[in-house]
Amino acid sequence: MSDHFKQLAAERAAEDVTSGMRLGIGTGSTAEFFVRALAKRVDDGLDVTGVPTSERTAELASSLGIKLTTLEEMPELDLTVDGADELDANLALIKGGGGALLREKIVAAASKQMIVIADCSKNVPTLGQFPLPIEVVPFGQEATRRAILSAFAELGLPQKLELRLAGGQAFVTDGGHVIFDAHLERIEDPVLLAEALVEIPGVVEHGLFLKLASKAYVAGEDGVKTITPASI
């Protein structure tokens, strides 16, 4: 059912896309449903240009006939559509489960609007059950890891930080960085945590997406709900 809900949310977001849009295209399983829904509209004559947030998304979108470019060529976007690993009622997000958080945040920040698409399991009262990805440069990563744990201690957060692996080796992002996943359980103050993380040398980016999403389409048994910060 989760895939069905993801598809419903993605198809609803695709309806918001209009010809001429400069479009950021997210990464992950829900975003892939959006790419497929968008491709159907392109086949029907929709004219858009997309900026993908990962090599994986670029490959899929290109294979389905969606016209693509880069932020270097098109640095201002009208809309980004992307999934989330968690979202709360204020549309604060945790993203980066797929490892593309840096490019996802750059693209979202370059967009006038961001629509989040998700199944209802991703809608939570408090962020933190999903591990928070923290992208760091490989150089000095042990020193960076210790600095992150120190910041957690000061904020009263759990001291559980794991290097993400893939095939027994450190997972490497499209940007050549590694990711630590923080198991924090509850993030009571995402803004304070985000501020602490960006102060640490070696931290490239974190998976807290704050004040970036304009609205979310969240699908469940009762259909697709629209969530906006103003609806709280």
Alpha carbon 102 to chain centroid, angstroms: 9
Sign of the torsion angle spanned by Cα atoms 71, 15, 210, 103:
negative
Residue 215 and residue 117 in contact, taking contact as beta carbons nearer than 8 Å: no
Residue 173 and residue 99 in contact, taking contact as beta carbons nearer than 8 Å: yes
Bridge pairing between strands 169-170 and 165-166: antiparallel
159 φ/ψ angles, rounded to the nearest 5 degrees: -95, 60
Which residue in the list 86, 104, 135, 205 is annotated as catalytic? 104
Q: Cβ neighbours of residue 118 under 8 Å, at least 6 residues apart?
A: 6, 9, 30, 83, 84, 87, 216, 217, 218, 219
> Rounded to an integer, what distance in angstroms lies between the CA atom of residue 6 and that of residue 132?
21
> Rounded to an integer, what distance in angstroms lies between the CA atom of residue 86 and that of residue 42?
29
Question: Among this protein's residues, is 76 annotated catalytic?
Answer: no
DSSP state of 123: B
For the chain, give me the number of helices (H) and strands (E)? 6, 15
Length of the chain, in residues? 232
Token pair of 168, please?
């027994």
State the catalytic residues. 104
